[in-house]
């Protein structure tokens, strides 16, 4: 094994830190990139040049941004996930029948990250977009996922009386969390976990709609049922007790109005 | 400048080639990864370990896959794009009014890559998913984008009489392309380019629905109008000739039936 074949950790970190400076930034100049990544300008330039050739970064004039290859690879992370694949048709059916926006989200170090979204509302809310994050403790999806974990496993600072109380309410509601504008003013959301937490990424299904006009009780029932259906579909478990799997493609009547 | 600050191109390529082996693969073992990336096992293992720590790769048992961080960064590439931001509300409105699935796609070296999708149909077609690719010459979106370029700039082997003929038909149709099951059996698609091609990523808007029952003429009119609306919205251009910008949130009547 030659020295050349032993990549120094520092080198991997340089490439990674360079890509990560684009988190939250569309376009950056070489000077901004080298400063943010803490790399000498010549070093940053050299890595960038190669990443541009590989399609990971793209250059427009004097600015750089992440390239389309990054989007393509990244989208596979979610697209090839079993729960995500099982969830898609149920999410579309739920959106059609309720008119509300449906999210599938995972807990990622103190936040929920939206892995999928079906529906256009809220149009302006950046934190509700696909790939965006919301603080777990303020979102319905986050509270539904925290309630599945022991307090010691919470990826957020525990010991907070308010949070413990919120999580207890979720558990009393059989796992369903309700967010009344805690995450965004004007937005009510309800969430249910998809299956039990099993070490890996566990996901929550949520419905959001305009605060005030969203029929919370019916949304809770709908999200709870869809989350259970997704879990059964994903795990290939046949239902007991002879309950028929509902046809998700049937044009369901709009049971929930959208504002 | 020390040697340490001059990352060898070979080193960047090793990290990149390692991440790229996951293209099309959900989970791979260390042996598979080192073979596909053409890297010694110890080297692959060392890079993987660091990438796992950084969240770019995740490990489950003896297998590795791309991590959620890759999805999160990748999703920003599209989310922060001006045309994509302008397109989203129009895509949702188009889906609501037609019942058809709407894609926003870009030309990427001989293929079209789907940057956004609104609608659940076709449920099983892997190539119609967000982040998936279709051959440009067989897709409506691809033909609409090729028709904007001079033949010498086509990222596909030109000199094909059939392709020239197809592109001529698109130009005769004022830029709108129609794919009658050329991409997928059972799927008809129509596409229009979003604005003129301007060096960067140009995008096409398309509608797809079940072959046979999709009213092609009305779909062509709808996709052409929406593509123009998106372009005006993205470029901030005010319409001339006093034409009112249509309110995209108005509940439009279903002008196109979905099978």
Which tens digit of pLDDT belongs to each residue from A215-235? 999 999 999 999 999 999 988
| Contact check, Cβ <8 Å, A72/B42 | no
| H or E element in which residue A115 lies | strand A111-118
Closest Cβ–Cβ partner in B40, B66, B75 for A71: B75
Partners of B39 on chain A (C-beta within 8 Å) are 5
Does A44 contact B at CB distance below 8 Å? Answer: no
Find the residue in B nearest to A13 (Cα). B50
Is 50 exceeded by the pLDDT of residue A46?
yes
The token duo for B71 is 């999805």
Domain span(s) for CATH 1.10.10.10 in chain A: 3-71
| Contact check, Cβ <8 Å, A23/B76 | yes
Query: What is the average pLDDT value for chain B, to the nearest integer?
Result: 86
Q: In degrees rounded to 5, what are phi and psi of residue B176?
A: -90, 130
pLDDT tier, B201 (very low <50, low <70, confident <90, very high otherwise): low
Beta carbons of A113 and A81 less than 8 angstroms apart: no
Distance of CA A28 to the CA centre of its chain: 26
Beta carbons of B46 and B52 less than 8 angstroms apart: no
Beta carbons of B112 and B96 less than 8 angstroms apart: no
Distant-in-sequence, close-in-space partners of A40: CB < 8 Å, separation ≥ 6: A34, B1, B5
- Of 3.40.30.10, 3.50.50.60, 2.60.120.20, 3.30.450.40, which CATH number belongs to A81-235? 3.30.450.40
The CA distance from B229 to B245, in Å, is 8
Beta carbons of B1 and A40 less than 8 angstroms apart: yes
Find the residue in A nearest to B99 (Cα). A96
What pLDDT, on the 0 to 100 scale, is given for residue A255? 35
Is 90 exceeded by the pLDDT of residue B163?
yes
pLDDT tier, A197 (very low <50, low <70, confident <90, very high otherwise): low
Does A92 contact B at CB distance below 8 Å? Answer: yes
Sign of CA dihedral B32, B36, B37, B42: positive
Please compute the mean of the pLDDT values over residues B33-44 and round it to a whole number: 93
What pLDDT, on the 0 to 100 scale, is given for residue B245? 39
Is 80 exceeded by the pLDDT of residue B247?
no
Partners of B13 on chain A (C-beta within 8 Å) are 50, 54
Q: Are strands A203-210 and A177-180 parallel, antiparallel or unpaired?
A: unpaired
Largest pairwise CA distance in chain A: 67
Each residue of A70-111: pLDDT tens digit?
Answer: 999 999 998 888 899 999 999 999 999 999 999 999 999 899
What pLDDT, on the 0 to 100 scale, is given for residue A96? 93
Q: Which residue of B4, B10, B15, B18 to mutate against A (max A Cβ within 10 Å)?
A: B15
Provide the percentage of residues in chain A whose pLDDT is more than 70: 85
What pLDDT, on the 0 to 100 scale, is given for residue A34? 95
**Distance of residue B161 Cα from the nearest chain A Cα, in angstroms:** 31
The CA R_g of chain B, rounded to the nearest whole Å, is 21
Quick count: other Cβ atoms within 10 Å of Cβ B35? 14
Domain span(s) for CATH 3.30.450.40 in chain A: 81-235
Does B52 contact A at CB distance below 8 Å? Answer: no
Task: Give the lowest-confidence range in A29-33, B66-70, B116-120, B198-202.
Answer: B198-202
Beta carbons of B188 and B211 less than 8 angstroms apart: yes
Q: Is there a cis peptide before residue B233, judged by omega within 30 degrees of 0? A: no
The CA R_g of chain A, rounded to the nearest whole Å, is 21
The CA distance from A198 to A195, in Å, is 9
The token duo for B52 is 């796992």
Is 50 exceeded by the pLDDT of residue B137?
yes
What pLDDT, on the 0 to 100 scale, is given for residue A251? 35
DSSP state of A96: H
The CA distance from A139 to A190, in Å, is 9
The CA distance from A127 to A119, in Å, is 14
| Contact check, Cβ <8 Å, B13/A113 | no
Distance of CA A74 to the CA centre of its chain: 13
Partners of B71 on chain A (C-beta within 8 Å) are 74-75, 77-78, 113, 115, 131
| Contact check, Cβ <8 Å, B70/A77 | yes
Among A residues 200-239, those touching chain B with beta carbons less than 8 Å apart: 200-201
pLDDT tier, B158 (very low <50, low <70, confident <90, very high otherwise): low
Does A13 contact B at CB distance below 8 Å? Answer: yes
| Contact check, Cβ <8 Å, A77/B66 | yes
Is 60 exceeded by the pLDDT of residue A200?
no
CATH class of A3-71: mainly alpha
Beta carbons of A109 and A252 less than 8 angstroms apart: no
Provide the percentage of residues in chain B whose pLDDT is more than 90: 65
């Amino acid at each position: 094994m030659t020295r050349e074949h032993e990549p120094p950790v520092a080198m991997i970190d340089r490439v990674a830190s360079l890509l990560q400076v684009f988190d939250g930034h569309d376009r950056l100049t070489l000077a901004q990139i080298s400063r943010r990544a803490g790399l000498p300008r010549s070093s940053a330039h050299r890595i960038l040049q190669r990443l541009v050739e590989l399609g990971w970064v793209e250059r427009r004039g004097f600015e750089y941004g992440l390239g389309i290859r990054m989007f393509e690879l990244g989208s596979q992370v979610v697209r090839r996930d079993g729960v995500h694949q099982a969830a898609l048709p149920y999410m579309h059916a739920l959106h059609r029948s309720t008119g509300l926006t449906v999210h599938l989200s995972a807990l990622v170090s103190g936040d929920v990250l939206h892995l999928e979204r079906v529906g256009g509302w809220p149009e302006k809310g950046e934190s509700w977009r696909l790939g965006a994050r919301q603080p777990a403790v303020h979102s319905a999806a986050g509270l539904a996922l925290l309630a599945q974990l022991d307090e010691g496993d919470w990826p957020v600072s525990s010991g907070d009386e308010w949070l413990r109380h919120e999580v207890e309410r979720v558990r009393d509601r059989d796992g369903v969390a309700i967010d009344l504008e805690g995450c965004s003013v004007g937005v009510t959301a309800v969430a249910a976990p998809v299956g039990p937490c099993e070490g890996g990424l566990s996901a929550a299904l949520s419905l959001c709609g305009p605060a005030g006009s969203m029929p919370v009780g019916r949304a809770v029932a709908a999200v709870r049922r869809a989350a259970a259906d997704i879990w059964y579909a994903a795990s290939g478990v046949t239902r007991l007790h002879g309950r028929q799997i509902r046809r998700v493609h049937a044009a369901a009547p709009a049971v929930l109005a959208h504002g």
